[in-house]
Every structure is written in structure tokens, then in C-alpha cells.
Amino acid sequence: MLALLAQTEFFGKIEAPKALAVYGTSGGLVTFISNMIQLAVIVGGLIALFNVVMAGYTYLTSGGDAKAHEKVMGKLTSSLWGIVLMILAPAIMAIVGFLLFKDSTYFLTPKITGPSTTQPGGGGGGGGGGQKVM
């Protein structure tokens, strides 16, 4: 029974959706992580923009209140620090990658190797040197 199931295609032929054809067949995990990082930067930028707009609205409607002014300055400072960190993080990663590995894209475009790639080195474990076991 198991041999019969192993020989047939139980689910049929599964193909990737046509919308994903632009990504090709390689780089699945790396592409996914890269897309998630881009999404996080876009969302972070939108949140920073929203905070700046809301801080401006709060400042305009505060009527000269000192506490509101402090709140506005705190929001603006946090938003600007967030934008600076989003811009500097890839630059810092590129500098560290260049200093440590002589490749500025080492962290920005990682290469994941799996068991199907050949690694240099010796042949693995195994064998007992030709001794017969009785």
C-alpha cells in the first residue's frame, strides 16, 4: 500500500501562483525577509509621518499651553529619531559587513546554503576500515 502511495502523485502537480512568477524559483526565504523589511520601513515611515502631522495639529490647537508644547516636542523628537534609525540601519549594516567580510552586501543580501550545495571539505563519517563484523 505504501509503495503504491509513493508512486502516485497524491495532490497532483502543484505549481506556484502566476503572480509570484516575477520572483523566480530561488531565494524564497531571503526574498520573503527582504519584502518584510521593506514593508516594515514603509509602515514605520507612515507612522512617523502621521506622528508629525498629529504633532503639528496638537501644536496648532494648543493655544500656547506649555504641556502641549512639551508633548509636541516629544512626538517630533521620537518621529525624527525613528526616521534617522530607519535610514542609518542599512548603512551601518553595510559598513560592518565591509569591515568584517570585505563585502558591503553581506548582511543586506544574505546567501543561504542548504544540503543540496556542495561544501568543500572531507568526506563525512562512516566506514570502519574494512573490518568484518560477525
Q: Would you say the C-alpha torsion 35, 40, 42, 43 has a positive or negative sign?
A: positive
* Whether the predicted model's global pTM rises above the 0.85 cut: no
State the residue for C-alpha cell 520601513.
41
pLDDT at 24 over 70: no
Nearest to 78 by CA among 116, 51, 112, 45: 51
Query: Is 102 in contact with 96 (CB distance < 8 Å)?
Result: no
Q: Is 112 part of a structural domain of the chain?
A: no
pLDDT range class, residue 116, cuts 50, 70, 90: low
Residue 108 lies in a domain: no
Q: What are 27-74's pLDDT values in tens digits?
A: 667 777 778 888 998 999 999 999 999 999 999 998 888 899 999 999
Cβ 97 vs Cβ 108: under 8 Å: yes
**Which residue range(s) make up the domain with 28?**
24-101
Residue 118 within a domain: no
Number of domains in the chain: 1
In a domain, 89, yes or no: yes
Cell numbers for 5? 502511495
